[in-house]
Amino acid sequence: MDPWNSPELRRRLDLALESHRHWTGRDLVPDLAAPGTEARYESLWSMPRVLVSHGTQDDPIFWYGNRAALKLWEFDWETFTRTPSRFTAEAPLREERARLLDRVTRHGFIDDYAGIRISRTGKRFRIRQAVVWTLRNEHDEHGGTAGQAASFTDWEFLT
């Protein structure tokens, strides 16, 4: 199964990329194929850069993780996209994670996140220089959001 084949998922991925450009002034992935093309979503799925996004629920659930994210967190697609994003941080670090998300909400994005996360099987890893941004809901006249996304290339497993 190719997760990106859903029109709704493609729309959300386009929103994530457009929101990244809005907040940071740059493309997350330079020279990415045009919206709506198979090549665009295949590139996002298979790139080595981790890309994840969650919704706006009270306990936000991941709606996307590319292949690099699923491998890092040791999830399959079906399980990952039913997982609250808070479970990617150890319980003592969840308060730090909540502060991070609040900072992103206030400023639209940050590009200096560093922190420790945990895989499904308990492997701990440190993320560095992650970009975390708010997904803008352009159809909400009150400035509502459609979730948040994060992307990074720099991580190391901890012993």
Residues in the chain: 159
What is the reported pLDDT for 139?
61
Q: What is the pLDDT of residue 122?
A: 94
Cα(141)–Cα(6) distance, integer angstroms? 26
pLDDT value at residue 27: 95
Strand, helix or coil for residue 102:
helix
Residue pLDDT, tens place only, 88-131? 987 766 777 778 778 888 889 999 988 899 999 999 999 999 99
Q: State residue 102's pLDDT score.
A: 82
What 3-state DSSP class applies to 155?
A: strand
Domains (ranges, CATH) in the chain? 3-157 (3.30.450.20)
Give the model's pLDDT for residue 98. 75
Closest CA to 93 of 56, 125, 134: 125
37: Cβ–Cβ under 8 A, 6 or more apart, which residues?
none
- Residue ranges of the chain with pLDDT lower than 50? none
